[in-house]
Amino acid sequence: MTGEQVILVDADDREVGAMDKLAAHEKGGVRHRAFSVFIVDPQGRWLLQRRAAGKYHFAGLWTNACCSHPRPGEQTADAAHRRLREELGFDCALTERFQFEYKATSESEGLTEHELDHVFTGEYAGAVHPDPAEVGETRWIEPAVLEQELRTHPENFTPWFKLALDRVGNALR
């Protein structure tokens, strides 16, 4: 992660600078631009990934297909496509649905996400080739099964996933 930069933004998503990625997550977090990609297949199942055990925060938790940060000078949609290819080995058409701001701390690592998150959706039906440095495992899940898991074991999912999922589902209906 050394040298990786994130884009700092104000509450209206206007760029106000750049910062080292890890530093942006320390000491309570600094607001920065991020994105989350939600993928469904033609049958309406959601693609989930379990974050790799070696991730610097929220490791081992289930989340949406992929999420990350655009680099300075990179358009958010371009970054979403880049990370789909890097993390999962595929790309597909994406639609930006909404954005939201959230703050979540990983107590065990002492790191905080303070993100203005751009949420994208797409449909994909091919093979998934996860990068093991990023992704522990993937699975396709029926919406009703996912809802049940979220009710019974919310601690198994990332904070941003839980916050965005209902709005994503409504946007796809």
CATH no. for residue 112? Answer: 3.90.79.10
Percentage with pLDDT > 70 across the chain:
97
Mean pLDDT of the chain: 92
Quick one: pLDDT at residue 173? 55
Q: Which of 96, 101, 115, 137 is catalytic?
A: 115
| Of 41, 46, 54, residue with least CA distance to 131 | 54
59 or 38, higher pLDDT? 38
Question: Once rounded to an integer, what is the mean pLDDT over residues 102-116?
Answer: 87
Q: Tell me the residue range of the domain where 137 lies.
A: 5-172
Helix axis angle, 159-172 to 143-152, nearest 10°: 150
How many domains are contained in the chain? 1
Quick one: pLDDT at residue 166? 80
Contact 66, 87 (CB under 8 A): yes
The answer to whether residue 115 is catalytic is yes
Give the H/E segment covering residue 81. helix 76-83
Quick one: pLDDT at residue 96? 96
pTM of the model: 0.93
Q: Which of 67, 86, 96, 149 is catalytic?
A: 67
